Each structure stands twice: as C-alpha cells, then as structure tokens.
Chain A
C-alpha cells in the first residue's frame, strides 16, 4: 500500500521551499559564477605561464643563437691560435735550426798553414724539401724532415800534402760546430800555377757538417 494514493498535495513543485540553510537558487548561480571566475583565473594563469614560457623560450633561443655565433668565433679563434702556435713552433724550429758559422770562420784564418792557399769554401745547398705534398692546398711552413745535412767543401792550392793534412788536423779540433770528423778528400791534382818555380797541387776536401736539426 502506498500512502501517496491519499496524498492530494496542492503545493506545486516550484513552490516547495528548501529547509536547508544553503539555498540552491542562490548557491547555484553563485557557484556557477565562482566556477566561471575560477576558470577565467585558471585560464589567465595558464595564458600568463604560457606567455612567460614562450618569452623565455624565445630568449633562450636568441641567447643560444648568440652563443652559437660566439662559440663559432671562439672555435675559429682557437683554430687560429693553434695555427699561429704551430707557426711559432715552426719558426722556433727554424730558430733552433740556425747554423752559426761566422765565429768558426773568423778563427779559420788562424789555422790555415802558410803553404796553403784557399781558393774556395762552399756549403752545398740542402736537398730541396717538398713543401707542397700531394693533396695539400696550402704549402707547409716548415721542412718535412727535421734533420738536414750539408757539406763544407774546401778547395785550394798547396805546395805539398803536408800542410793540407795539418789543416785537416786543425779543423778536427775546435771546429766542431762547423765540421764533423767525417770528411772526404776528393783529389790532389797538379795545378799549372807555380810558386817559387815549383808547380802547385790543387786539393778539394769535403767535410760533413753537423746535422741541422729543426727541433726544440
């Protein structure tokens, strides 16, 4: 049995008031407005954060681009510095490879015997270096070989063999910077030149000079 069968309610549904202190007809619009305001605030925060993030990203991109160019410039400068350093090193090699023959030659006259007349003193040119190897676009700054060997050729006239031997002995002591002990007497020849009615002998001695090293 349902008591509703006897419920002849004259009150319309829209006239029923809520006994709750929280009135829905007020709270619902207020809640809806608050929800809308909340959504707007949330959207505003989201928009601001997105805008800030975009600005930061743009700034970072610009900074990155600037740093990239600076980095490329630094790399370029580093490469240049390395190149220059290499060049300086090569120059240092050359500096190390300078052969000082002035001082020995200044003393050379003191050891030349009276019976010896020097006609020629020459240093053979070094073997030519390959400064542009195959495939290279830029020629090298320095020699490809670190060691360079030259010959000192001494040619002259003498009356007899003994003074030449004396000269050679003198050269072997005190002239280490000019010549090494390795030498080669190429020839003694009868020359047409006469001295005191005697015909002179021409000679040619080839000395191996100390190695010229391109190193520190």
Chain B
C-alpha cells in the first residue's frame, strides 16, 4: 500500500498478509469514448480459486455527457453508475482522448514534454485573441493542440522559469495543466509516459460517485491499456514474457515489444491507419458493402489481397524494423508475433508476414488464459481489448 506523506514523498507499506495490498482481486475495466463503439466496453475480472475469471463482459451505457475539451466544460460533471453486474469495488478507466499522449521516450524528452505546457502557455498568450475569438475551437491532437488550450487560472504555470523533474515511477504529477505518469522500460533511459489534460483527469476521477460500486481506482489512456491486454495470454506467459505484438485499432496501428514481461518497445506505425482505413480499402477496392467485409476477409471465396496488401505491407515493414531492433538491442528473436485487434482477416495478415518475414502472426482470443464465467460471450472479445487491458493493468497483480 502506498502512503503519500508529502507532495513528493511516497512510501510503500507492506501489509502482513503478504502480496501487494494494492492488488485488486475484483476489478472492472471500462473503455470510455471508444471511436468504434457507441456504448462503453466493460470487462469484470475476478480472482477466484487461484485463477482469473471473466465474470462479465458487455457494454454499458456511456456517461451522460461528453469528455470535456475545455476547462469551462468541467463543471458539467455527470454521475455515472454501473449496472449491477459491473459493481466491483474497483474500476479501471481507459479513456480515448484526442488530447491524450502515450509514448516511449527518454527522460529528457519527457521533461521537455512537461515543459511544453509552459511554452504552449506563452504562445497562447500571444495567440490569445485568436483563441478567444473562436469560442467553439477544440483542442487538436497532441501537443499542437495544447497550444490552443484555454487554461484555467489554477492550471497556469507555477513559474515560467521552473524546470520540471522526471516524475517518480508510477506517481502521477500535474504539470502545466496536464497530468503525467511515467514507467521505466526494460531498456535503459527509456520510459513509457502517458499524459492527459488535468481537467479531463479530474472529470474522469469524479465520474463515478463515492460510496457506490465501482469507483475509479485507475485512469489510463487507451494505448496504455492496450499494451497490457496480452499479459494473461497463455502464449505470452509460455514465452516468459518475450513477445512482439501488433495492436490494430480503429485509427492507428501500434507495435509493442516485451522482454521478460517488461515493456521494451512501443511505437505507432507512421503513415498507417487502423481498421477503418483497412475496411475502407477493402470496401472500395472490392466494391463490397459494409456487411460483407467480415465474411470476405474470413472466407476464401474472394481473395482480398489486392485490397488488404497495400494496407498491411507498410505495417510489415515497420514490424521488420522492430524485429531487427529487438534482435540487435535486446537479443530477442521471434518466429511468431501477436496480432491483436483485427477481427476479420487475421489469417491473411499471417500469410503476408510469413511470406515476407517468415514470421507467423497469431491472433488469439483476448480472453484466452482467463476462465469465462457463465454467460460471457468470447466472440466479442476483440471489442473488449482495451477494457480488458485496463483491468489487467489496474489489478496490479503478479502473474
């Protein structure tokens, strides 16, 4: 159990019954504001009889209101109550926000990133009139849009000359209107850093009312949860935590490397979209309706290669680079890699990878390695990938 003594001083307390007192044995992972879902995918994991069970997996109605994009929106704080089947003591929220960041970075780069808020604030002052003249203006993606972020007075930089320090491992810090959290990677000088605007974090932290199950014990960005989603996969555990994985989302594709269960690589494939782009390519190239895409990708009646290969090749190129990087830097050699998040057409991905990289892509069900309770449908597991990852990371257990 962590006890925060002062702002910068936190101590760990080991309780006598062993294990980490922070381990959540009953936790619900929820993905918020998924671009592919109207409702929120939710997965409840319960530890029973020395194994993890998927007690419930489904979709809960989204909170009444949108994720605030400005400080001024935060007073409209909805109260979000979960259906009975998801009323676990803890909830791990994975949020999809255009203002969130998640990256593999060095300590200096993270500090610069934290200081960027100051620069952004200064540039905002110069461009203040422009911003204020457009009241409906929203923040863009990542840092470029932070420059236009209307800061709350309380979120102003404490002093323009102060240089922030790298946050302690796993300890969230607020800097220049953003919330940062850092974890070291298995590679020296590299860290995983996630950040979210302060007002969004506060809005999310107050979303679930106190005194009613569940309450938020974790707020993660969706990419962070995605990276943790394969930790309980039997193949991952069998490989002693050494793995390479491709995560395909609606709008982006990511590559993740693991060494002995620790992260060593996280990168977004540049210039490559996600499943939306893939499905568009299939639909336009093959002239199919949306309803037929899945069946075409899963069956062999029509060869989707002309439509699929232009999308997959750049990803495989990035995968090749990552394989070389992991082999040279960490001595990791793989003959198979995970392919997660691709509902249909995964076999084609594997074929292309075997042809070009002699690498087999396995696309397991995200619920593999978990005991499914009665009523849990594993067919929709891919849609719960982020929620599952949020729950796995949030439970902070030892596998």
Contact = CB atoms under 8 A, between A and B. Distances in A.
A42 B246 CA distance: 68
Contacts of A17: 205, 208-211, 215-216
A16 B216 contact: yes
Contacts of B212: 19, 21
B224 A23 contact: no
B90 A13 contact: no
B231 A3 contact: yes
A137 interface: no
Given A2-B261, A3-B396, A8 B205 contact: no
Nearest to B232: A3
A7 B219 CA distance: 9
A122 interface: no
B172 interface: yes
B196 to A, nearest CB: 5
Contact of A4 (B181, B204, B260, B396): B396
Given A11-B201, A19-B212, A6 B217 contact: no
A20 interface: yes
B180 to A, nearest CB: 8
A173 interface: no
Contact of B214 (A13, A14, A19): A19
Given A8-B183, A9-B219, A10-B219, A3 B397 contact: yes
B179 interface: yes
A100 B241 CA distance: 142
Contacts of B218: 7, 9, 11
Chain A at the B interface: SS class: loop
A1 B211 CA distance: 33
Contacts of A16: 205, 215-217
Contacts of A21: 211-212
Contacts of A1: 231, 237, 241, 260-261, 398-399
Contact of B224 (A2, A8, A12, A18): A8
Interface in B303-323: none
B90 to A, nearest CB: 7
Contacts of B396: 2-4, 7
A4 B211 contact: no
A192 interface: no
Contacts of A14: 4
Nearest to A20: B211
B190 to A, nearest CB: 13
Contacts of B2: 13
Interface string B369-391: 00000000000000000000100
Contacts of A11: 172, 201, 204-205, 216-219
Contact of B263 (A6, A10, A13, A15): A6
A19 B205 contact: no
Contact of A6 (B10, B219, B227, B260): B227
A17 B262 CA distance: 30
Contacts of A20: 211
A119 to B, nearest CB: 131
Contacts of A3: 228, 231, 392-393, 395-399
A20 B210 CA distance: 8
Nearest to B186: A5
A23 B210 contact: yes
Contact of B228 (A6, A13, A23): A6
B206 to A, nearest CB: 8
Given A1-B261, A3-B395, A21-B211, A12 B231 contact: no
A13 B205 CA distance: 11
Contacts of B205: 11, 15-17
A12 to B, nearest CB: 5
B220 A7 contact: yes
Given A16-B216, A17-B210, A19-B90, A8 B263 contact: no
B257 to A, nearest CB: 13
A18 B211 contact: yes
Name the residue in A7, A16, A17, A20 with the highest tally of chain B Cβ atoms < 10 Å from its Cβ. A7
B220 A8 contact: yes
B58 interface: no
A169 B364 CA distance: 163
A9 B181 contact: yes
Contacts of B227: 6
A2 B20 CA distance: 11
Interface in A81-107: none
Nearest to B4: A13
Nearest to A25: B210
B93 to A, nearest CB: 8
A109 to B, nearest CB: 129
Nearest to A22: B211
Contacts of A9: 170, 172, 181, 217-220, 394
Given A8-B183, A11-B172, 6 more contacts: A1-B398, A3-B392, A7-B218, A8-B220, A10-B181, A19-B210
22 contacts: A1-B237, A2-B396, A3-B398, A4-B396, A5-B263, A6-B183, A6-B224, A7-B220, A9-B217, A10-B194, A11-B172, A11-B201, A11-B219, A15-B202, A17-B209, A18-B210, A19-B89, A19-B211, A19-B212, A19-B214, A21-B211, A21-B212
